[in-house]
């Protein structure tokens, strides 16, 4: 079961994706997502120029050994580019192992711990009324959980507010600057959730993403103000390079906290988990070293009653989505999965077995991950340079996006 070849496929069916396709000598191939939003070609080169040559001739069945070889063997350790590349290899090898065993990957991960996994969708609007209408649309589609974001009065654009039906934060061309005011934002969020609770009651789970924009004490204040509205979680309240800063937020609010979509290693969340400073860990397959490493994070989190809530925005390809669902359905301490629908073009390039019904998803029972890539179709959507926007305070100071 030797690896014969590795191909890096870059395409842009609605947005950019990098996909690794590992081919074995037995004719079985596996796919891994390697998309790092806004820095895609760095991972494509890392794989093509540095990783694939190391893989040829290796035994595709030795997933853990190859993981350790790429991690420790590179000397440099961690970092988003390295860990996204390792994730792609790991994911592709699990896909191959599933196909070889004629079993869906979740069966190789201990089998299903649940029948399906609860997902949350993204509702947003320029006004509270518009956001209410968007939440209503998700509720009528059967969603049990919805993330709600609304524009901040007086600011032209706010993170998380989509332009159309599919929310896509990256923009083609150079990254635009957007204006930000934490003071105005903090005032605008509690009225949004007061209104949503009035309209929808407490049966619907409501989530909110702060996107790393507050200081710990500001986040503590917002979390406390949101307590009457019983959020499922407040996401990324402050940047987490300093894991200790969550202790300050924790001292001030019982609103559940989620963080980790930009983490790439278990070391990024060890204190957060062990000191029970968070409730949900948002690390994903594609950015945190693949299915193998994510399972180690989940196992650590399980000891401390921290549940998983993996990132699942549109820049995580259907290959990552499929892998995430195999992980979600199998780990005991699953909490929720983010699910932003992809464009029709994306879904056509990546046909998949996973399905949505009644606010929940299932990875399907096709052997492996149950996702494929139509390479001929992919080649009709060439790469388009695109970046996430950046945020500046009203006086021009760069702020966290
Ligand atoms: O900004 O996926 O919870 N979801 C998010 C996303 C992220 C993008 C980054 O690439 O915060 O919109
Ligand atoms: Co987020």
pLDDT at residue 291 above 80? yes
So where are the chain's domains? 3-103, 108-365
Return the pLDDT at 237: 98
pLDDT surpasses 80 at 159: no
In the chain, what are the helix, strand and coil shares in percent, each to the nearest 5? 40, 20, 40
CA distance from start to end of the chain: 44
How does DSSP classify residue 202?
T
The 10s digit of each residue's pLDDT in 383-394 is 999 999 999 999
Distance (Å, whole) CA 131 – CA 108: 41
Mutate to test the pocket of ligand 1, among 207, 209, 261, 285 (most ligand atoms within 8 A of CB): 261
pLDDT at 165 over 80: no
Ligand 1 pocket, mutate which of 15, 171, 313 (most atoms under 8 A from CB): 313
CA 390 to chain CA mean position, Å: 19
**Which own/partner pairs from 344-348 qualify as long-range (CB within 8 Å, at least 24 positions apart)?**
344/14, 345/13, 345/14, 345/381, 346/13, 346/14, 346/15, 346/17, 346/314, 346/317, 346/318, 347/318, 348/13, 348/374, 348/377
How far apart are the CA of 316 and the centre of ligand 1, in A? 9
Q: Per-residue pLDDT for 176 more than 90?
A: no
**Sign of the CA dihedral running 344, 357, 201, 228:** negative
Going from the C-alpha of 145 to that of each of 51, 142, 200, 206, 343, the distances in angstroms are 39, 9, 11, 6, 21
Res. 281: pLDDT tops 70: yes
Instruction: Give the Å distance between the CA of 313 and the centre of ligand 1.
Output: 6
Quick check: 310 pLDDT over 80? Answer: yes
The encoded tokens of residue 204 equal: 């619907």
pLDDT at 283 over 80: yes
Answer yes or no: is the C-beta of 313 below 6 A from any ligand 1 atom: yes
Find the angle CA(131)-CA(134)-CA(139) to the nearest 5 degrees: 125
pLDDT in tens, 65-115: 999 999 999 999 999 999 999 999 999 999 999 999 999 999 999 999 999
- The answer, yes or no, to whether any atom of ligand 1 lies below 6 A from the CB of 211, is yes
Percentage of the chain modeled with pLDDT above 90: 94
pLDDT value for 160: 79
- pLDDT for 323-376, tens place per residue? 999 999 999 999 999 999 999 999 999 999 999 999 999 999 999 999 999 999
Interval 202-227: pLDDT, tens: 999 999 999 999 999 999 999 999 99
Binding site membership of 261 for ligand 1 (Cβ less than 6 Å): yes
Mean pLDDT of the chain: 97
Token duo for residue 72 = 């420790």
Write down the H helix ranges in 49-79.
52-55, 63-73
Q: Which CATH number fits domain 3-103: 3.40.50.300, 3.40.1190.20, 3.30.390.10, 3.50.50.60?
A: 3.30.390.10
Which atom number of ligand 1 is nearest to the Cα of residue 169?
12
Contact in structure between 180 and 393 (CB atoms under 8 Å): yes
Q: What fold, for 108-365?
A: TIM Barrel (3.20.20)
Same CATH fold assignment for domains 3-103 and 108-365: no
Residue 72 backbone dihedrals phi, psi, to 5 degrees: -75, -35
Residue bearing the CA closest to ligand 1, atom 5 = 313
Q: Which pLDDT does position 164 carry in this prediction?
A: 66
Measured between alpha carbons, how far is 372 from 158 in angstroms, rounded to an integer? 35
* Alpha carbon distance 107, 110 (integer Å): 6
């Amino acid at each position: 079961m030797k690896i014969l070849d590795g191909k890096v496929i870059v395409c842009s069916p609605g947005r950019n994706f990098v996909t690794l396709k590992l081919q074995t000598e037995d004719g079985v191939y596996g796919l891994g997502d390697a998309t790092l939003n806004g820095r895609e070609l760095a991972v494509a080169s890392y794989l093509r120029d540095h990783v694939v040559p190391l893989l040829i001739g290796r035994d595709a069945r030795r997933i853990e050994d190859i993981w350790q070889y790429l991690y420790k063997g590179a000397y440099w350790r961690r970092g988003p580019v390295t860990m996204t590349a390792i994730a792609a290899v790991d994911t592709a090898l699990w896909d191959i192992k599933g196909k070889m065993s004629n079993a869906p990957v979740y069966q190789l991960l201990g089998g299903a711990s649940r029948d399906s996994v609860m997902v949350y969708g993204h509702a947003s609007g320029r006004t509270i009324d518009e956001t209410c209408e968007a939440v209503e649309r998700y509720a009528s589609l059967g969603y049990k959980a919805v993330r709600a974001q609304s524009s901040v009065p007086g600011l032209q654009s706010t993170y998380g507010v989509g332009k159309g039906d599919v929310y896509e934060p990256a923009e083609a061309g150079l990254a635009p600057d957007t204006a930000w005011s934490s003071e105005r934002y903090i005032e605008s969020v509690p009225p949004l959730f007061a209104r949503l609770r009035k309209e929808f009651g407490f049966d619907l789970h409501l989530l909110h993403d702060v996107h790393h924009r507050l200081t710990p004490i500001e986040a503590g204040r917002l979390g406390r103000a949101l307590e009457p509205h019983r959020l499922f979680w407040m996401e990324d309240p402050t940047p987490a390079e300093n894991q200790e800063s969550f202790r300050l937020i924790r001292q001030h609010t019982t609103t559940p906290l989620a963080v980790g979509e930009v983490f790439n290693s278990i070391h990024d969340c060890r204190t957060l988990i062990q000191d029970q400073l968070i409730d949900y860990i948002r690390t994903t397959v594609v950015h945190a070293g693949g299915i193998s490493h994510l399972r180690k994070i989940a196992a650590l989190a399980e000891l401390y009653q921290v549940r998983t809530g993996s990132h699942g925005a549109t820049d995580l390809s259907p290959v990552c989505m499929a892998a995430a669902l195999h992980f979600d359905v199998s780990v005991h301490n699953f909490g929720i999965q983010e699910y932003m629908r992809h464009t029709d073009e994306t879904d056509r390039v990546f046909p998949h077995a996973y399905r949505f019904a009644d606010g929940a998803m299932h990875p399907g029972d096709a052997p492996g991950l149950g996702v494929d890539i139509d390479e001929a179709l992919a080649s009709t959507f060439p790469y388009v340079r695109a970046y996430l926007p950046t945020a500046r305070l009203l006086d021009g100071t760069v702020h966290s996006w």
